[in-house]
């Protein structure tokens, strides 16, 4: 996965992990009765590769995205084997998210040493939640960065029919409630999209990270503790082994799943 370069309006946005709460503090929050929500951005698509804004367009995973999804799925399998017991996987209705979620479902019932390249998505038990859908980018959807600069030089405000960041963040709050209603286990996986993950983390961090500040990597995982009071952001944009390392440290700090 890339770790240092993506572009928005000509600026380089950081894509590194952000640790908002230590694993030991996260374990304490969960011991108080909160639940762990793992927000996973879907794997790569051809449109991601050329920076064409997807929004609600149903663009499938490409070969790289399928392999990313399978590798991330096996990291969740490692977490499961260590003691993080996930329930059914929740997903956005869009196929790029649902197929990413299908790889995770397949991995959770696979042997620990399964080759990710041999995984096949299992989608029949997924919980599809409309509130996990991507932001609606209206007239901007389907345009490359260069096309957006020409047609809508003032961006989202000029387009006028784009779901706002506050509205998307509020929808993700509802989605987290939906996930907690749908899944009984303490650790929940929701596969969703970069725009809405950025929107909710912008709200959770008062604009320090998220929309306009950072970019979520394909198949990165962002963690939230929810269920008591306001959701608490734990970590953003965890990638590859960093996903397992954070959760394993939570377990060693006394978190129970």
Q: Which residues are catalytic?
A: 42, 134
> Hey, which residues does 39 pair with through a beta bridge?
190, 222
Query: Would you say 176 and 224 are in contact if contact means Cβ atoms under 8 Å apart?
Result: yes
DSSP-assigned states of every residue in the chain: ---S--EETTEEPP-S-EESS-HHHHHHHHHTT-EEEEEEEPPPBHHHHTTB--TT--PPB-HHHHHHHHHHHHHHHHHHHHT--B-SPEE-SSHHHHHHHHHHHHHHTS-TT--GGG-----TT-EE-GGGSPP--GGGTT-BHHHHHHH-TTTHHHH--SPPHHHHHHHHHHHHHHHHHH--SSEEEEEE-HHHHHHHHHHHTTTSSSTTT--PPTT-EEEEEESSSS-EEEEEEE-THHHHHHHHHHHHTT---
């Amino acid at each position: 996965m890339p770790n240092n370069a993506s572009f928005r309006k000509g600026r380089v946005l950081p894509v590194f992990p952000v640790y908002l709460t230590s694993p030991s503090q996260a374990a304490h929050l969960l011991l108080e009765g909160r639940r762990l929500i793992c927000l996973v951005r879907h794997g790569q698509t051809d449109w991601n590769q050329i920076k064409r804004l997807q929004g609600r367009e149903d663009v499938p995973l490409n070969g790289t995205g399928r392999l990313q999804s399978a590798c991330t799925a096996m990291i969740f399998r490692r977490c499961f084997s260590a003691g993080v017991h996930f329930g059914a996987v929740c997903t956005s209705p869009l196929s790029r998210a649902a197929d990413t979620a299908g790889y995770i479902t397949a991995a959770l019932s696979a042997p620990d040493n399964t080759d990710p390249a041999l995984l096949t998505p299992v989608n029949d038990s997924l919980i599809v939640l409309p509130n996990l859908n991507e932001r609606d980018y209206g007239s901007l959807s389907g345009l490359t960065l260069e096309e957006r600069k020409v047609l809508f030089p003032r961006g989202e405000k000029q387009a006028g029919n784009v779901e706002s960041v506050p509205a998307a963040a509020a929808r993700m709050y509802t989605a987290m409630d939906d996930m907690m209603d749908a899944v009984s286990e303490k650790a929940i996986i929701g596969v969703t999209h970069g725009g809405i993950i950025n929107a909710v983390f912008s709200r959770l961090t008062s604009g320090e990270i998220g929309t306009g500040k950072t970019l979520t990597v394909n198949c990165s995982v962002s963690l939230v503790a929810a269920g008591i009071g306001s959701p608490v952001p734990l970590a953003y944009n965890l990638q590859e082994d960093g996903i397992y390392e954070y959760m394993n440290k939570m377990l060693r700090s006394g978190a129970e799943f």
